[in-house]
Structure 1
């Protein structure tokens, strides 16, 4: 029988019962570990996971569990730090057309992220950003009354490190071959990781990785997400114009492929906790604290 708080959490987040095992097996022990480390305000926990891996669900569950333990937990998503639509258009015109598409390092307001981590460590109200993916633009988000005992900083490339420049030479997919033949886009992304993103990620005290079994599984998860969105909007009689077809999803995830593969190869050796997942997003055997 599910604990009452877990049943309520699944209902609040509109999650199926099957997610209960993930929360019990991953979120609960991780919350215990984080609570033991939060002896002073401002602990920053980085949660990295590829698209569709369940990092948003894990983050929401952790926030609920930490609050049940009497801790103030703030949630900061890397997605909510995207540059505005106008800023990305200007960046694309200046640096590379592919930077108009949100997602990769270089398309976030890193300075805003650094400022928010400082503000969340202090007393007072902090206005958090939000990003509306349907509008492809930033909007006003919630406020948080600081200081936070714990900041849960989640995102698909949170904590990522740059590759060696020589490793960028060979394109890994059609997007890189056709739209970045000289490697300028991937070099820009890599340099962003080596510079401003490294400063931002250096604020992380405890790094957790939800480890997909491979990029092919990530593509499958992303296709599943979009199909469910398409079905839900169709039932509600809403416009499907912004929903991607399977072919469009396959093209879209190529923007993320290089760095996703690199994270899955490089990060497990240094993350404080690694949660390997199978293709059905079930935890296999967590490693680390």
Structure 2
């Protein structure tokens, strides 16, 4: 990860506004478990050590509440009960946050508790001062674009085949990606892609994330009831398959920086 961090830092140095004007909004995209959070934290640490005011917003921290997702499941499709894909985030809030930061206003960044599958209360949000220099906006589908409608006809996996046979879920997700999410991602100035070697590695990476979270919760004496066992995790990851594969196919042609990773998240040649 150090080499990837070095590459991103060099790129950001060239992208930052040298006059201290409008902050740089850096989009950081990568499949689940690819190391986005680690890279973002490392970049923030290096930037702040040089006096560059930096904050991190995760797309995950914009997830809707369980009740809101239950309403989507009832009104649109049952698969929207599971957080992750477009439609399950508070996009309007994300746009408001990026606009506030772009115009130099102080704000607070939300946080989402994955162990409870619910947003944290505002009292636990992260304050961000006015006049930020750099915002790192990271997430598994940050900067993604909608697919052509014809590409949605065939199911991407067993989940889509068995639980979305009429393509209602995937068409609704794709429509959101081409409208509200396009507005959100249009506020990104530069886009970096951590490119996994393929979707097949994502299940292993995500399992490692879950194990790390479990250890952290156990160390604090906190409940691990909200964490997933292996079958639940496999089904969860299946929700991400279509869009992850599309990102790996389409985004490298337009991202400002692409970091190709091997199965151990090491930067390839």
State TM-score, norm by structure 1: 0.86
Post-superposition shift, 1:116? Answer: 0.4
Q: State the shift of 1:238 in Å.
A: 5.5
Cα distance in 2 for residues equivalent to 1:30 and 1:240: 34
Q: 1:43 aligned to 2:24?
A: yes
SS at match of 2:165: coil
Residues 191-230 of structure 1: matches in 2 within 5 Å?
191-230=175-214
**Closer/same/farther in 2, CA of residues 237 and 125 from structure 1, 3 Å limit:** closer
User: What is the SS of the residue equivalent to 1:27?
Assistant: helix
Is the Cα–Cα contact under 8 Å of residues 115 and 227 in structure 2 kept in the other structure? Answer: no
For the structure 1 residues 278 and 96, does the alpha-carbon distance in structure 2 shift closer, same or farther, using more than 3 Å as the test?
same
Could you tell me which runs of 5 or more consecutive residues in structure 2 were left unpaired when the two chains were aligned: none
Between 1:140-149 and 1:45-54, the stretch displaced more is 140-149
Is 2:29 the counterpart of 1:29?
no
Residue 34 (structure 2) pairs with residue 53 (structure 1): yes
SS at match of 1:120: helix
Match of 1:179 in 2: 163
Residues 193-239 of structure 1, C-alpha deviations (whole Å, 9 max, x = no match): 00010111111111000000011111111122224444565677664
Distance 1:233 1:132 in 2: 11
Residue matched to 2:266? 282
Q: CA shift at 1:249, angstroms?
A: 1.1
- Per-residue CA distance 1:41-99 (angstroms, 9 max, x = gap): 32111000000000000111111111122211121110111112221111211111111
Contact 2:114 2:226 in 1 (8 A): no
The CA deviation at 1:240 is: 4.2
1:100 is displaced (CA, Å) by 1.1
Shift of the alpha carbon at 1:255?
A: 0.4
Unaligned runs of 5+ in 1: 1-21
Tell me, in whole angstroms, the C-alpha distance in 2 between the residues paired with 1:195 and 1:149: 28
Residue 112, structure 1, aligned to residue 93, structure 2 = yes
TM-score by length of 2: 0.92
Post-superposition offset of 1:135: 1.7
Q: State the match for 1:92 in structure 2.
A: 73
Change (3 A) 1:278 1:115: same
Contact persistence 2:61–2:112 (CA under 8 A) = yes
Contact kept? 1:211, 1:277, Cα under 8 Å = yes
Does 1 or 2 have the higher relative contact order (CA < 8 Å, sep 6+)? 2
- Equivalent residue for 1:154? 138
